[in-house]
Structure 1
């Protein structure tokens, strides 16, 4: 793709430092609401020092390093320092449990872990089962006990030199784990070219300019914040305002205080913002557009736009698509009940089970054309069968169903994959079922997602108990809580004698979901 050529993240950052050395690049509001600022030059200086520190620790090109960090300047500097030396960042959710982290660190063969002191306990439990993990480093650490493991200490003892490591645009720069329909997450390999392409697509789709400032409240360990917000800002030499945590009540106050002009949200945070008591002062923000993923009701879109004076653009993308292949047009007709139209650089079609395009109006799978490692993910790490299923002859099969309306806009229908979307997080039903199945009293379980006014979907588990055993809802919820990240734990558990099944015994989750919703309607 000519659009990104053979440029790397190292070259892109160097170019922008040359163009805007003393311009603010990052404003970061920590959890105590203290704001920290870095110019392009200062950021690059920290990146180079950290690069040299990683090299001294034996982190070489192609090695994986796990980041287990909240939104922070250290997340950003670690990401770019690793890219600087050809190493591969593996960002993870800070809510993940020890068991979940053991799988990711082990599967990725990570040689280094960067985290914060408060998360050390979860890693101390599994350290002896991770033979490849050589060192744990701590971000934002000010004490003495682990001083020699602190990023701050390492940077102070390093020189701000550009590493002498050859890089290519096709080199893998990161691996983002995404929940699959199986119980084990898949590692999506993201190249330097992928990151640059994501930045180009989003910056052009929202008319981003050097004067803009991205408001990043979504977690940086997700593709959304990395691809659409951070990369688009760097691509055009804009700046970014990063908050450590999302706050529904303070979202627009943060936007005003930090001078943000554009932002990215999910449906759940939009609903959370609307659930707050409206403060007319919030309408004095300078935001010119907010794009979002997942469906928001039409009346909620109207209320949001009228109260805060910011147009919303619904879009569609996934970790594997890299850029955003479908989006409502910023300069065209916005139809936010749709996921928009194909963006610059993408071709999208709706296909049947055999990969053939279906007629307008018919439901089929969203299928995206691109080049693996350039405009689509490179592949799934150590998973050739899943890669072959997803990437076929230059097309990515997303596992999501949609239809094209008479107006030419794409309308999302549902997920083919058995996936639950909860407050912006993907939860594989099979992963929750696997944990429940390990409980000695559980014979079989079926986990479904049902609509939830605040968090997109609630997680409901139906359980058949083994003969001769007894177990309570509370016991099973506690059991899940010890083994799954908080956002994966079911909202409720219901005990049943059997499930509705097909003639070959397959559980009919659509029937369970239907019965559950009918029962809820009767109760309400």
Structure 2
């Protein structure tokens, strides 16, 4: 039997009536505050209404809203009932919603008012669709207290981005949530005085795992915005008084490029900002100088739940490294045959631990994919990393993003790093496409910094001076922006589809 879950953690801190849990900033800049005690009442009221709608333990509740307090009401309400929350991207199309509903076996769908039509157009008549605003209006303001017994087993089904196939539902348990919250709170020293700035989508693991759950463990609070805004982030970092924040590299670059520097940018209470994915040293230095907060890189996946690697939150952190193994996390780096590789040699990252506690339980209704994911008692990430002599890890690339060029393996991330160092480049994405002579040709898609207009030939010359010949792109495409998932990951599948034929090789 579980000893705690997200709702139990919430109630532990509700004894102090005024302790803040959530500060919400809506799209018009209006803020509202919710205490732990108020959040407990909202969760219980939501659970009572869902119970009236026939939701019981084990039922799947599809949740499709933007960042808003009611997302958390449903998240905690499902924990009260033992129902499974299925949080999804509010930008999902009707076809994508149909897949989510069918795959998860949802019986109820809760959506923003403007999204209910999308859910209904998925054509699943057996699924009850609830308008989240109507749910709030109908739930009891003073719900009856419940003798909550901490839940165990599956708490959520979270869908992967699905850039190469239909998204898979990752099974995340109550034990997973508590484990990651405890680990992150301990590593970052989160206390009741801390407040997370959450601008990334709540339906994503980053916001739930690292921010929400560590705040619940420590009794801290969350400053939630309705969406990420590059121009608004500096103001949110000042006005909402967070001490912690989490971003991906792409939003960091957007903030630096689109939000004009202001002398008051550093007038904030931030003590650190987590980030994932690569930044150049120049970008990281500019961010830290401008906002006065150290950047701490980490690595994690929806499936790993607990991030295997996190940098130390002190002067020993490194911008170019994904960090050291988090205490209690087992890792291996292996070759294609499963043998350990020596320090400095890239290999696939495997993560150890108990499924359903340390790592995700698997994929919903996909036994073959689950067996492959957890083969041999280790979670296979599909990511290539290398370790140095001190055990510090460096991300190399997704295994599928390695480009085979005339018999040589080229890491797309290595080419991206070189291109990103050009003073006129904001960011780039590199991928391979089939080439009848050289296996694959290398294509670089480049977004310039505002006010700059680099020519492809200029960028190719830059690469030739810094990369071995076989690593130099065959084609450079200068564009206004890169296609992304909702959390900022670059859609390389979209980029590949745009290039219909091999480019002429560079000389």
TM over 0.5: yes
- Return closer, same or farther for 1:415/1:305 CA change in 2, 3 Å cut-off: same
Aligned match of 2:191 in 209, 217, 224?
A: 209
Preserved contact between residue 50 and residue 154 of structure 1 (Cα < 8 Å): no
2:64 corresponds to:
68
Q: Greater CA deviation, 101-110 or 410-419?
A: 410-419
Q: Is the 8 A contact 1:366 1:398 kept in 2?
A: yes
Shift of 1:56: 1.0
**What are structure 1's unaligned runs of at least 5 residues?**
142-149, 422-426, 430-445, 456-479, 499-511
Change (3 A) 1:266 1:454: farther
Q: In structure 2, what is the equivalent of residue 156 of structure 1? A: 140
**What is the aligned partner in structure 1 of residue 227 from structure 2?**
245
Contact 1:50 1:158 survives alignment (8 Å): no
Partner of 2:13: 16
SS of residue matched to 1:283: coil
Structure 1 pair 29–160 and aligned structure 2 pair: CA distance change class (3 A): farther
Is the contact between residue 157 and residue 169 of structure 2 (CA under 8 Å) also seen in structure 1?
A: yes
**Counterpart secondary structure, 2:51:** helix
1:32 matched to 2:33: no
**Secondary structure of the corresponding residue to residue 106 of structure 2:** coil
Native 8 Å contact 2:183 2:306 kept in 1: yes
Say if 1:55 and 1:277 are closer, same or farther in 2 by CA, change over 3 A: same
CA deviation map 1:123-180 (0-9, x unaligned) = 23223xx2541x11112x3xxxxxxxx112221377243266x5533x2110101134
SS in 1 for 2:359: coil
Match of 1:84 in 2: 80
Deviation of the 1:261 alpha carbon? 0.6
Deviations 1:243-267 (A, max 9, x none): 0011111212112111111000000
Output the CA distance in 2 between the equivalents of 1:272 and 1:45: 38
User: Contact conserved, 1:9 with 1:84, CA < 8 A, in 2?
Assistant: no
Aligned residue among 350, 355, 361 for 2:333: 350
Moved more, 389-398 or 316-325: 389-398
On the 8 A contact 2:274/2:298 being kept in 1, the answer is: yes
Q: Out of 355-364 and 62-71, give the one that drifted further.
A: 355-364
Task: Name the CA shift for 1:347/1:451 in 2 (closer, same or farther; >3 Å).
Answer: farther
CA shift for structure 1 position 202: 1.1
**Higher RCO (C-alpha 8 Å, min separation 6):** 1
TM-score (normalised: structure 1)? 0.78
Cα distance in 2, alignment partners of residues 10 and 400 from structure 1: 34
Cα distance between partner residues in 2 of 1:376 and 1:269: 27
What residue is the counterpart of 1:280 in the other structure?
A: 263
Q: Is the 8 A contact 1:28 1:241 kept in 2?
A: yes
Of the candidates 252, 265, 269, which is equivalent to residue 247 of structure 2?
A: 265
Contact between 1:6 and 1:193, CA under 8 Å: does it hold in 2?
no
Q: Deviations over 1:105-132 (max 9, x none)?
A: 11111111111111123223223xx254
1:217–1:278: structure 2 CA closer, same or farther, 3 Å change rule?
Answer: same
Among 274, 293, 298, the alignment partner of 2:276 is 293
Q: Aligned partners of 2:494, 2:121: CA distance in 1, in Å?
A: 25
2-structure distance, mates of 1:29, 1:121: 26
Distance 1:205 1:216 in 2: 19
SS where residue 197 of structure 2 aligns? strand
> Matched residues in 1 for 2:249 and 2:447: separation?
10
What is the TM-score of this pair, normalised by structure 2?
0.80
Q: Which moved more, 1:311-320 or 1:404-413?
A: 404-413
Q: Distance in 1 between matches of 2:490 and 2:340?
A: 36
Seen in structure 2, the aligned counterparts of structure 1 residues 265 and 447 have a Cα distance that, compared at 3 Å, is farther
1:356 deviation in Å? 1.9
Output the CA distance in 2 between the equivalents of 1:13 and 1:449.
49
Question: SS of the residue aligned with 1:302?
Answer: helix
Match of 1:137 in 2: 130
In the alignment, which residue of structure 2 is the partner of 1:52? 48
Residue 438 of structure 1 corresponds to none
Distance 1:121 1:447 in 2: 44
Q: Structure 1 residues 8 and 302, CA, compared in 2 at 3 Å: closer, same or farther?
A: same
Structure 2: how far apart are the matches of 1:191 and 1:449? 40
Matched, 1:172 2:165: no
Residue matched to 1:311: 294
Match of 2:98 in 1: 102
Give the conservation status (yes or no) of the 8 Å contact 2:110–2:129.
yes
What pairs up with 1:395-406 in 2 under 5 angstroms?
A: 395-406=378-389
Runs of 5+ unmatched residues, structure 2: 403-411, 414-428, 432-439, 450-482
Over aligned residues, Cα RMSD in angstroms?
A: 3.1
Instruction: State the distance in 2 between where 1:447 and 1:246 align.
Output: 35
Report what 2:474 is aligned to.
Answer: none
Shift of 1:354: 2.5
Residue of structure 2 in register with 1:502 after alignment = none
Q: What secondary structure sits across from 1:320 in the alignment?
A: coil
